[in-house]
Structure 1
Amino acid sequence: MNYSVRHNDYSISIFIVLCGIGILLFCFIAGCVDDSSSSTNVGNLTNVPANDVIIPVASPSSMTYTSNMQKGGIPSSSLIYEGLVIKDIDGKFDPALAQSWNVSDDAKTWTFHLVQNATWNDGAPFTCADVKFTNDYMKANNLTMGYVLSDVQSIDCPDNNTAVFNLVTPYSAFLDQISRTPGITISPEHIWQNINDPQHYQDSQMIGTGPFIFTQAVPGYYQYTTNENYHGRVPAIPGVVLKMITNPDSQVLALENGEIDVVSGITPAVAQSLSGNSNISVYSINDTGACEVAFNMAQYPANISAFRHAMSHAVDRDTISSIFGTGRPTETTFLLPTLAGNAVNPADVGMYNYNLTEAQKLLAAAGFVKNSDGVLIGPDGNPVTITIPLGSKGDAVNDKIIAVLKNDWAQLGISVSTVYYEDSTQYRKAANANPVFIDSFPVLLHDDADSLGNFAVTPLQETNYYNYNDPEYNSLVAQVKNTTNQAAIQEMAYKMQDLLAKDVPTVPVASTDTLVAYRTDRFTGWDIGPGYHSIMDPRVLENLTPVQSS
């Protein structure tokens, strides 16, 4: 599994966060849906059932890609397509297209027992052949999402309802790989087997097995109707309408005017302003994103262990957390306690306490000394200057984080500058050429022991974004992949976190929350509890109940 693709590329990190929404904005198709119940006109859409949920989306950019196999959606956030399993809020796995599964003792053979009543939207039955085809076709045609199944050597179908995955090497966390960001969705063989040029094919049919069916689109609007033949829990709502509203303030105004039903990602100030509206309620989806101050250990001075230790005490998590307006400081080495639970080593909590005096002592002991002008001179005899690459201009949060770092690091005698890169490839090169970078990531990549593989060097992952390469650490990652014993995995995860605390390849800073506002006079059930990270999650939409008009 190539963690460097999943986590280490800033542009991929941003894409992963957005791809759950992206799958919903696939392309334009024509048509309309009729419903015997009351209906309304939404913009240019006609005959839309009055109880369709109307959700705003901010960007049309995700409509440009060719197919689900090229840039597929997260299984837990895709309305149309499904994977085999979905990771649950407590770290366990829910059935999707697989109703049960088992793994061999060596974690190399995974057997999935498929649901027997699932059909594609066009009525064709779903079978193991679709699972095998998805794997084989993506790899044969070098399609983007094929990397998710890079650990799979082959898939066997002993019968229509059984899929046996034979892995190249043992992998105890294989369920994570296929279910979480970005995960993998299954595609219909009877559709794709006739597509000879999938690299350029624009899928206009979007035949899936999920709880919703994409039925019509007009400029600025996209509609999905509920799949009444869905093999799982059929939603109580007739469908979903996505309405293009690019400006966040306009989204909030549309919510207040009753034009849409929900807005995700509002600021605390907006949440406060909405508190006086009797028809609007606000809730928080905790721990949806996070950021870190990371080190490129191949670049001076980050290649000096004592420098990294010193700087780990020069990151003011409390102040930076307050910038986000939601969330809290992260005091662990990498995993988040609210998501990773007992996989977090409690001995390594609070290892990087903010203390500039301690940072200065550690720097001095390592040969970094201030001159008479207050400039920090490194062991190489030169002033210590740090250039931090950033992905793009106009990111107010990143700018504020940099402002905090500049102020604190200036007190240590370190000069900090920034360079912006609109092009993701250029940003990646810059991050690999500078000693410090700011990284943002979706927290679902940091919720269990398997996530610690981000720091490993393995035969399948020849480097990582931090250029961290510790033989003991690499060995532990390999051992975790080779065992299914949870107690043993926890023990090894603790050892890996001890090594991260000792070597400090990165300093996690904060986890952030997402505030959601919704119309209480339209639907109940939005806030179904912690762990569901998107209002697009079908399990959230399945939980909605229309409010009956008096």
Structure 2
Amino acid sequence: MDRALDRRSLLKLGVIGAAATLGAGAPLAEAQDKPKRGGTLTIGRNHDADTLYPGRSTGLSAIATNLLLYDGLVLHDFQMKIRPGLAERWEVSPDGLTWTFHLRKNVKFHCGASLTAQDVKDHFDRWIDPKEAFPTRAKVTSLAETRVVDDHTLVCKLKNPTLVFLNNVSQTEWGYASIPHAKHVAQYGQDYGVVPASICGTGPFKLKEWTKDDRMELVRHEGYAWGSPAYDNTSAPWVDRIVFRTLPEDAARAAELEAGGIDLDIDVSPQHIARLEGKGVKITSIPRLSSNHIGFNVEKDIFKDVRVRKAVAHAVNRQEIVQFVMKGQADVAHGFLHPLVPGATPKEQMRPLMSDFSLDKSKRLLNEAGWTPAADGMRQKDGKPLQASLYVFTELHERIVTPVQAQLRQVGFDLQIKRLESAAFTTATRAGEHDARFLPMIYSSPDFLYFFVSAAIPSPNTVRWRDDKTDTLFHQSQVTLKETERVKAFQGIEQRLVGEAVVVPIQHIRWIFGNRARVRGLKYHPIHGIYKLQDTWIV
């Protein structure tokens, strides 16, 4: 059973059917156009992938690229229904402990080798091995072992029945279950996913060139004939190649989109919507399950005190950020989880746990914590200034937290925003250099809360939250066979994180795309946007 976002929730979000088109629409003739092969699709994005080894990264650019380079056993279609991928069918035993996957035949890796069940076993075995230290290992904690029956049959034995196993091994669940070529992984070891020559999947595109933090070129996987029925085109993609250009500055991407230097911007900044409208660019906005938030490194002395964390929370004016920074392209957060995610606590229940915007309350809490104003109004304690770093990795993120920096200065708190390139941000937060960090936190189900379990330290649990109650609740969410108990467990985690001010929820954003008219057949997935680009072509 699919326990990600259900169809009813997607309908509420307005994803199924049509996305909201803000700018000039594509010509009506597009409906009559027929797909044709050829052309290059150039995509602008604000950061590059750190590694292309599935499951080794929770970075959004790595995930988006891996969806194009690899395939998984199953995936979710545009209505979030699980469809066949590399597995043409599967069965589960009556006790829920044994899953048998029957693989498609004649599937080829980019190197020309045939896919076998051993490739799937190799990836899954590495994924669950504690020594391999995959940051996404919590996704498959229920998996005990795998067994190859023959070249096209794999058996997965679980430790316990669970509602979420098939969902968690879907490629849609952030590409972690994408299958790389086992021989390439063994050959390159720790360099797999980083050295371009190492990367080998079965996906519709294969890597040709990669200049880190600049340009990545993918070319069509000729002979690809095992695409998912989620797409109209299940054979090789229409476009010859995809070029990703890393353009960290929002204005630079907007300028390139306007001038034709890129065909598609997958992360248009709200401030540039008006500029791009009517200039040959189609702007599309879709709801996105997200929890933009500030998270504190609770191992740092300054944020070990919950009063200081709550003082920061009271300095966040959510309404102002949504109105002036996001130009209305977000919803004010009334809790941590998106309200349409199963497991979100009702707004009324979250209200007493959420810190409202109040600089008076912020000052009072800082006074109670022993931080007193000096002559210049800035606070200190035992001769040390009240100062902390907040790490971000995109221009938009910096703009979102800048108003918080200004509000905190009014209460005597010196918050220093440090913007890093994406890979440097990942390295620094994994190492615990930050006092706090901002994350957009995009997800498909409340199972992403494994980001806050103790076993996920140092990454993705970069807030270093060690809490027996959180760990117990998350474990319950993964082993229960009752949906009501899963919901209750996730609500408990949400209330714990917000009540202890481990995180400061800000907003739930919309996903804004901009494309030039020559790009046709774009279909945006509710979780992954461009997804696998099987039906897209260039005119």
Fold shared by both chains (TM-score > 0.5): yes
Q: Determine the structure 2 residue equivalent to 1:443.
A: 442
Q: Determine the structure 2 residue equivalent to 1:503.
A: 500
Secondary structure, aligned partner of 1:78: helix
Quick check: 1:84 aligned with 2:85? no
Residues 229-261 of structure 1, C-alpha deviations (whole Å, 9 max, x = no match): 225342685324234655576765665566754
Quick check: 1:516 aligned with 2:513? yes
Q: Which runs of 5+ in 2 are unaligned?
A: 1-35
Report the CA distance shift for 1:84/1:385 in structure 2 as closer, same or farther (over 3 A).
same
Residues 147-176 of structure 1, C-alpha deviations (whole Å, 9 max, x = no match): 648744421133444322234677654445
- 2:86, 2:103 within 8 Å by CA — same for their partners in 1? yes
- 1:118, 1:231 within 8 Å by CA — same for their partners in 2? no
CA distance in 1, matches of 2:512, 2:374: 48
Q: Which amino acid aligns with 2:178?
A: T
Secondary structure, aligned partner of 1:234: coil
- For 2:39, which of 52, 57, 65 is the aligned residue? 52
CA distance in 2, matches of 1:140, 1:297: 28
The structure whose Rg is larger is 1
Report the CA distance shift for 1:509/1:101 in structure 2 as closer, same or farther (over 3 A).
farther
Q: Determine the structure 2 residue equivalent to 1:302.
A: 303
Q: CA deviation at 1:519?
A: 2.9
- For 1:210, which of 199, 203, 208 is the aligned residue? 203
CA distance in 2, matches of 1:489, 1:273: 45
Report the CA distance shift for 1:345/1:452 in structure 2 as closer, same or farther (over 3 A).
farther
Q: CA deviation at 1:497?
A: 2.2
- 2:282, 2:516 within 8 Å by CA — same for their partners in 1? yes
Q: Which runs of 5+ in 1 are unaligned?
A: 1-48
Secondary structure, aligned partner of 1:79: helix
C-alpha RMSD of matched pairs (Å): 4.5
Residues 80-111 of structure 1, C-alpha deviations (whole Å, 9 max, x = no match): 31112324566653432234556668875444
Q: Determine the structure 2 residue equivalent to 1:112.
A: 101
Report the CA distance shift for 1:343/1:154 in structure 2 as closer, same or farther (over 3 A).
same
- 2:379, 2:386 within 8 Å by CA — same for their partners in 1? no
- 2:73, 2:84 within 8 Å by CA — same for their partners in 1? yes
CA distance in 1, matches of 2:334, 2:292: 12
Residues 255-300 of structure 1, C-alpha deviations (whole Å, 9 max, x = no match): 55667543332334543233223x5321124337653222233444
TM-score with structure 2 setting the length: 0.71
CA distance in 1, matches of 2:415, 2:97: 48
Q: Determine the structure 2 residue equivalent to 1:241.
A: 241
Q: Which amino acid aligns with 1:323?
A: V
Residues 279-337 of structure 1, C-alpha deviations (whole Å, 9 max, x = no match): 53211243376532222334444333344334322211233333245632542442223
Secondary structure, aligned partner of 1:443: coil
CA distance in 2, matches of 1:301, 1:258: 48
Residues 480-517 of structure 1, C-alpha deviations (whole Å, 9 max, x = no match): 12113222201222222232332221102234344322
Q: Which amino acid aligns with 2:355?
A: Y
Report the CA distance shift for 1:258/1:454 in structure 2 as closer, same or farther (over 3 A).
closer
- 1:318, 1:328 within 8 Å by CA — same for their partners in 2? no
- 1:285, 1:530 within 8 Å by CA — same for their partners in 2? no
CA distance in 1, matches of 2:427, 2:126: 32
TM-score with structure 1 setting the length: 0.70
Report the CA distance shift for 1:353/1:130 in structure 2 as closer, same or farther (over 3 A).
same
Q: CA deviation at 1:71?
A: 6.8
Q: CA deviation at 1:197?
A: 4.6
Q: Determine the structure 1 residue equivalent to 2:281.
A: 280
- 2:206, 2:218 within 8 Å by CA — same for their partners in 1? no
CA distance in 1, matches of 2:503, 2:126: 38
CA distance in 1, matches of 2:527, 2:428: 31
CA distance in 2, matches of 1:257, 1:245: 15
- 2:92, 2:100 within 8 Å by CA — same for their partners in 1? yes
Quick check: 1:229 aligned with 2:225? yes
- 1:306, 1:363 within 8 Å by CA — same for their partners in 2? yes
CA distance in 2, matches of 1:269, 1:377: 34
Q: How many residues align?
A: 480
- For 1:542, which of 516, 522, 534 is the aligned residue? 534
Q: Determine the structure 1 residue equivalent to 2:405.
A: 406
The residue correspondences of 1:484-503 to structure 2 (distance < 5 A) are: 484-503=481-500
Q: CA deviation at 1:531?
A: 0.6
Q: Which amino acid aligns with 2:297?
A: N
CA distance in 2, matches of 1:109, 1:492: 25
CA distance in 2, matches of 1:288, 1:546: 29
- 1:326, 1:513 within 8 Å by CA — same for their partners in 2? no
CA distance in 1, matches of 2:390, 2:200: 41
